Structure 1
């Protein structure tokens, strides 16, 4: 069996939630990993994921193509994980998720490297959401620069460090009610971060179809209401679930976009919840899914109790409903 010890993979955005799991998956497969991030001093937590010298960080900013090209030097593959859910200063959706994705693809093409680009289900040039439009523009830019690039579109990604299940579990700890924007009827297909990381690593291994767009979802399609109920069940808390019409939610977002932590909400995030976020029938028929890669996805109910226990009133060993 050929070794990957001489193969260098550059991971853009490797210090984030999904990034640390992708780096771990690559390290287990013996790749040498260069993690390109805006602030390398905040990425030291990645070092224990591999052997001494296997993982190292470099400074790169997708808004500066020269830094992206430098990070790609001598790499055999590029992985772009950079994405944002809210804009801040120069970090806009277009700059990061559209133009930035194109910069990585052009650098990969120039280095003669392969590429895996992580986008999102719901990427659509005609979407009312600026986030979704930027994701679609990023895919288009990647395809234009490197047609053989593999694109991964995950649904809602959950896991130990996520900003979704942890956010609402934390909110339930301090609030008597949880909001259900649009009545909580939006359908999602939560996918475990470890499964997404495995799919990305498989693509680097060459197991994905070149130039294909994969849609990654978990084993269940759930509404927002059902997801909230699962979170409350796991954390053993009883909270009211209050329906919030889209119009009212958007009005509140005008103020909550400046709120800290779990209370932050933007108008674009409200817009995202108007559309279902599930794997399409087209992707299923073409085998462009986790199952098509030979990955059996884990469910929210199987994984979330392993890390949401800390939000229970008395901790990990509390007897449920005691």
Structure 2
């Protein structure tokens, strides 16, 4: 039986590293392009993986990467803009280039990583509007069989959610001012997201579908941060900021190195990141994992 080959854009990132392991175990040969292969030497230990150095992801380069592939997964995404790295470029222009390159290379299957609440017109932030525009472009591409996954905040070993709050709490001098404390999330485990992608690849019934992915419970942000403090054994007084103070913090923090919190993050958090009536994990036969069973294992 011929080994199937898949190119994973963003495969060296948080979700990507988990996905290449899951697909490698299933027998897929994974191509992972990266600008800095020396930073990801540990990935070379993954079964059926080729780490490919690239300087850009223009259409010609993408067509070369996709040649001989059976499928493509696009995980590329940014939470904040920085210089030349813009939402338009990362979430929209790249999708336009990769769909054209996939057609040129004869690849017909694409899994597009989007985001819960992504909407090109009605999205509450520039991030969500650009994610929605990219998702729409993927589904509208002629000759491509597309499935998109739309997760809430993703957690797991190496995540930038619980790990970031844990680091900030460790530095806090006993008091922690928290913006948007009432923002709601349904955190979804990275392993479940990767399982959803793996199952979608093997199931033609998922073609053309857009799956919202959520964990089993909904939390306020303040509850998640309180739980994080408990898991790392940090005693800290959380002070939930009102709307005006949250905006003030966003305006200040987006000027700091690394942009820990921006106005666009603030606007994204005004829309609850939770699933409606349909959780795509359940539709795909996956029982969502709870934060209680996963997060303590890597924070402690």
TM-score interval w.r.t. the shorter chain?
Answer: over 0.9
Secondary structure (helix, strand or coil) at the match of 2:44 reads helix
Asked whether 1:277 is paired with 2:267, we answer no
- The answer for the alignment partner of 1:144 in structure 2 is 140
2: distance between equivalents of 1:148 and 1:201? Answer: 15
- The answer for the alignment partner of 2:68 in structure 1 is 74
> Does the 8 Å CA contact 1:181/1:273 hold for their aligned counterparts?
no
- The answer for the alignment partner of 1:134 in structure 2 is 130
> Does the 8 Å CA contact 2:75/2:113 hold for their aligned counterparts?
yes
2: distance between equivalents of 1:246 and 1:69? Answer: 47
> Does the 8 Å CA contact 1:202/1:208 hold for their aligned counterparts?
no
Secondary structure (helix, strand or coil) at the match of 2:145 reads coil
- The answer for the alignment partner of 1:305 in structure 2 is 296
- The answer for the alignment partner of 2:46 in structure 1 is 49
Asked whether 1:106 is paired with 2:108, we answer no
Secondary structure (helix, strand or coil) at the match of 1:87 reads coil
2: distance between equivalents of 1:19 and 1:99? Answer: 20
Task: Please list the CA deviations of residues 131-152 of structure 1 after superposition, one character each: whole Å capped at 9, or x if unmatched.
Answer: 0010000011101215520000
Asked whether 1:292 is paired with 2:290, we answer no
- The answer for the alignment partner of 2:229 in structure 1 is 232
2: distance between equivalents of 1:229 and 1:256? Answer: 21
Flag the 1:127–1:150 CA change in 2: closer, same or farther, 3 A: same
Flag the 1:58–1:251 CA change in 2: closer, same or farther, 3 A: same
Asked whether 1:119 is paired with 2:114, we answer yes
> Does the 8 Å CA contact 2:282/2:288 hold for their aligned counterparts?
yes
> Does the 8 Å CA contact 1:207/1:293 hold for their aligned counterparts?
no
> Does the 8 Å CA contact 1:150/1:213 hold for their aligned counterparts?
yes
1: distance between equivalents of 2:188 and 2:236? Answer: 25
Any stretches of 5+ residues in structure 1 without a counterpart?
Answer: 310-322
Task: Please list the CA deviations of residues 219-251 of structure 1 after superposition, one character each: whole Å capped at 9, or x if unmatched.
Answer: 111111111121122112221111123333333
**Number of residue pairs matched by the alignment:** 296
2: distance between equivalents of 1:208 and 1:23? Answer: 23
1:207 Cα offset (Å): 5.9
2: distance between equivalents of 1:248 and 1:68? Answer: 44
